[in-house]
Amino acid sequence: MPQSSLPGDVRPETLSHLYRTLRLIRVVEEEIARVYPSDKIKSPVHLSIGQEFISVGVCDALEPRDRVSITYRGHAAYLAKGGDLKAMIAEMYGKRAGCAQGRGGSMHLVDMQAGVIGASAVVGTSIPVATGFALAARRRKTGAVVACFLGDGASEEGCFYESLNFAALHKLPILFVCENNGYAIHEPLSKRWATDRLTERVATFGIPAEKLTDGDVFTVRNAAKAAVGAMRAGGGPAFLEVACYRWQEHVGPNRDYDQGYRPAAELAPWVANDQVARLAGLLNPAEVERIDAAIARTVAEAFAFAEETPFPDPEDLYDHVYA
C-alpha cells in the first residue's frame, strides 16, 4: 500500500483529535476482546480492529446534527460519531443503562442524541432506512447529511441498488461508505462478486463515486469532507469504497488465521500501515502518553460502570413494544 504522507493542511489539534478517536476505538475493542471470555458480554461482538480509520476519517467530516447509519460491526462508527461509551458497554453487558436499555445488544447500537441512528443485523437492510433519514433531511432543508456505512457483502443485497437509485433520483444528502474488507464471514469477494467494479457501477447512477485503497485516514477524511461539502451545498448522494482489512475473526474476540480460509500474509501490510500507530508516531511522545492515559481511564470507567450498573427488571420486558 502506498503510504501518503501527512497532508500539509492538517492542523496539530486535528491530528491529536484523530489519534484520540482512533486510539479510543482500538482500546475499547481490545478491552472487549479481553473481557469476552469471561462471558459477561452475552452478545455476539463483531470487532472492527484495523478498520477504525474509515469511521474516524468519515465522521471527522460530519457535524453533530449529521447522522450515521452503522452496521453490526459498528463500534468504530458509533464512537467516532460521539456515541456514549458507557451506554455502549452497558448495552453489551445487557444492562438497563445501556444505549438500548438491554434491548439492542452489540449488533444494534444506537445514540439518537449523538446522531447514531442504529444498525440492522440483517445485512444491508439499514441502507434504505438511512436513505429515509436523508429524505427527511432534504425535506427540512437543514443542511444536515447522513453517512451510511455498509460492508462489501451488504452491497450484494438488492435494497442497496434500490436505495442508490432513489437517493440519486431525489438528490438526497447521503454519503454511502462501503467498507470493503474483502470478506463476508469466511467467503472472499471472488465467490460473491462477478467483477470488482462496484465503484464504477455506482457511478452509473450519476453518483460521484471514488475507491480509496491506501488505508490512510487522511485520504478518507479528505474524500468525505469534499463529498459532504458538496451535499450541504445542495448536491446529491456520494459513494466511497474504502479498502480495509478485518484483523480479527468475523464474530468473537480472536484471530483466525489458523482456520485456513485466509493467510496471515494478508494481514501483514495492514498492520504495517496501522493508522493508530502511524498517528502516534506523528505526535510528540508526551502528548501520546497523555492521550493514552486519559483513554485508559475513560475505558476502565466505562467497563466498571457496565459491571456494576443494574440489569433491567424482568417486569420491564414489555416496555417499548409500542410507542
Cell of 183: 470478506
Among 132, 206, 235, 312, binds a second copy (CB under 8 A): 206
Task: Select 34 or 320, whichever has its Cβ closest to another protein.
Answer: 320
CA 254, distance to chain mean position in Å, is: 19
Contact 68, 49 (CB under 8 A): no
- Show contacts with ligand TPP in window 167-196 (CB under 6 A): 181, 183-185
Q: Does 52 bind ligand TPP (CB under 6 A)?
A: no
Q: Does 129 bind ligand TPP (CB under 6 A)?
A: no
- Show contacts with ligand TPP in window 248-307 (CB under 6 A): 250
- Show contacts with another protein in window 179-208 (CB under 8 A): 184-187, 191-193
Q: Does 143 bind another protein (CB under 8 A)?
A: no
Among 32, 68, 88, 117, binds another protein (CB under 8 A): 117
Q: What are phi and psi of 42, to 5 degrees?
A: -90, 70
- Show contacts with another protein in window 33-62 (CB under 8 A): 39, 41-45
Please identify, among the stretches 33-41, 48-56, 173-181, 312-320, the one whose residues bind Mg ion according to the rule CB under 5 A.
173-181
Among 60, 152, 216, 274, binds ligand TPP (CB under 6 A): 152
**Helix pair 285-308, 12-35: axis angle to 10 deg:** 40
Please identify, among the stretches 144-152, 199-207, 209-217, 258-266, the one whose residues bind a second copy according to the rule CB under 8 A.
199-207
Q: Does 197 bind a second copy (CB under 8 A)?
A: yes
Q: Does 169 bind a second copy (CB under 8 A)?
A: yes
User: Which long-range contacts link 232-236 to residues 24+ away (Cβ below 8 Å)?
Assistant: 232/143, 232/145, 232/173, 234/171, 235/171, 235/173, 236/167, 236/168, 236/170, 236/171, 236/172, 236/173, 236/206, 236/207
Least distance CB 302 / Mg ion (angstroms):
27
Task: Select 50 or 104, whichever has its Cβ closest to another protein.
Answer: 104
Cell 446534527 belongs to which residue?
Answer: 65
Angle, vertex CA 80, rays to CA 28 and CA 209, nearest 5:
130
Q: Which of 116, 123, 152 is nearest to 242 (CA)?
A: 152
Q: Does 275 bind Mg ion (CB under 5 A)?
A: no
